[in-house]
Amino acid sequence: MNMKKTEPHILVIFGASGDLTKRKLIPAIYNLHHQKLLGHPFAILGVSRTQMSDEEFREKMLEFLPENEQNNDFVSHLHYESIQTSEQDEYKKLKERLDKLKKQLNAPGNIVFYLSTPPNMYPVIPMHLASVGLNSQEDGFKRLIVEKPFGTNLESAKSLNHDLLEYFNEEQLYRIDHYLGKETVQNLLVLRFSNSLWEPLWNHKYIDNVQITSSESLGVEKRGGYYDHSGALRDMVQNHLMQLLGLVAMEPPTVVNADSIRNEMLKVFQSIRPLTPETVSANVVRGQYTSSRIKGIEVPGYREEEGVNKQSRTETFVAMKLQIDNWRWSGTPFFIRTGKKMPTRVTEIVINFRPAPHLLFNSGEEQKSQPNQLVIRIQPDEGILMKMGLKVPGAGFNVQPVNMNFRYAELSEAYLPTAYERLLLDCIHGDATLYSRGDNVEKAWELMQPILNEWENNPAAPLHGYPAGSWGPAEADKLISGHLNGWRYPCKNLSNDGEYCEL
């Protein structure tokens, strides 16, 4: 992991009584502390409206940590302050508390603010922080991590960027997308740019199509209230899957740093052919899961979930076809697919190479249907699978498809940090490479906007039902028909040679 020296700092978490704090943030900070990556001194200040003492906050957080004798040492770094976050006056109290902590720790004023609150507070908290000078970098760095969702459409994303930039500079802003913190997502960059093997093939001449799938077997669980106003396009595509597309499609950056990588990402987004009201329906399929029986158990449909409108037209599935109009990708479509209540949880990128130009073996037809395929598995069982045709031993020249499977877990015994560990530490170190830049976020929203408009304004825009536990509506297959291999349908259990079992 990142071996840079960590400067003394305070991490202030707004929304400290919320779910993200206890499930993701505190465990991530705990792991960083255990690996001695947080430096010394450091302190966490939890902030929210709930009244709580330091002791009560510590007790609460302990429940989410693994049993360990050093837990007491860790929680001694946790502090808590209750303020009405919407009231400007309350920030004087926050500033006093931070000044006190600084003195106690004998630390400079390096502070990371983490906004893990409801999104309506994203523009408010930075404004109030600025009112008491907590955006000033005179006594040390001040950085602001903003959780998703970053806006709900192009207009709100622009307005949020505008509001944040009133009080913090772009260099101080860290828009988090936890997909970029995943180890295998970063490995995509290394796979592409530290091997000479791929680069000559990584273009429209050799690649027929690219597929990016992120399926989840879970439904909306307890998040129906949020999800019903969001839907799969906003929840998964605009952010996580567009980032994956950017990394697969980008040109080699000149160096690995925040600007260079994010510039290349932006160029990809700028090259994506914008959809129009006329082209949305032919290129985007939306679906919503309906009730079904899975392994003999009755499973409710989306509209029966807690917090969901009974007539909801929110999509729990999206498949789309995008074209990138540049020299590298012209004519090679990128397919994106994501959904809830699908047969398994998997995120993978599939590169379907074109068939060999002249087929010498077999009857030709059989081999033609098995061209090379590279599967980059983001999760679970992170790894890379290469499918190629090799000779069946014995007489003649019969070709059979074989798998070369690399499992990340076999690379080393090394500990794989969680996305939040990686991203938090990067922010503390001032490295924004794996965070989204304002212009990229806006561009990704701009690409989604015609779809959102069409779904909102055209009552005839279809929403296809699909039974819970299936791979989505049949229309998604039509979208890809005519392209090499069709969708890949992975299922959960890996057979011995590393392939997912086919359903």
Q: Are 287 and 317 in contact (CB under 8 A)?
A: yes
Whether the ω angle into residue 300 lies within 30 degrees of 0, i.e. cis, is no
3-state DSSP assignment of residue 187 = helix
Which residues pair with residue 212 across a beta bridge?
336, 349
Q: Distance between CA 429 and CA 431 in Å, rounded?
A: 6
The C-alpha atoms of residue 31 and residue 418 are separated, in whole angstroms, by 9
CB of 375 to ligand BG6, least distance (A): 17
How far is Cα 174 from Cα 176, in angstroms, rounded to an integer?
6
Q: Cα separation of 420 and 94, whole Å?
A: 25
- Please say which residue, 109 or 383, places its beta carbon nearer to ligand BG6: 383
Burial of 334 (0-12, 13-18, 19+ CB in 10 A): buried
Closer by beta carbon to ligand BG6, 110 or else 418 = 418
Measured from the CB atom, the residue of 10 and 26 that comes closer to ligand BG6 is 26
**Cα torsion 84, 89, 94, 97: sign:** negative
Extract the tokens encoding 474: 């049949």
- Shortest spacing between CB 440 and ligand BG6, in angstroms: 17
Strand partners, 318: 286, 338
- Quick one: 214 or 352, whose CB is closer to ligand BG6? 214
CA distance 423 to 484: 37
Binding site for ligand BG6 (CB under 6 A): 148, 216, 235, 347
Between 111 and 244, whose beta carbon lies closer to ligand BG6?
Answer: 244
Q: Could you give the CA distance from residue 422 to residue 182 in angstroms, rounded to a whole number?
A: 8
Residue 239 Cβ vs ligand BG6, minimum distance, rounded to whole Å: 7
Q: How far is the CB of 307 from ligand BG6 (least distance, A)?
A: 14
Nearer to ligand BG6, 48 or 338 (CB): 338
Give dist(CA 281, CA 286) in Å, integer.
Answer: 9
Please report how close the Cβ of residue 347 comes to ligand BG6 at its closest, in angstroms.
6
240 is known as an active-site residue: yes
Tell me the closest approach of the beta carbon of residue 312 to ligand BG6, in angstroms: 16
By beta-carbon distance, which residue lies closest to ligand BG6? 235
Helices (H), 321-395: 365-368
Residue with tokens 């398994």: 344
Catalytic option among 9, 77, 178, 240: 240
Residues annotated catalytic, as ranges: 240
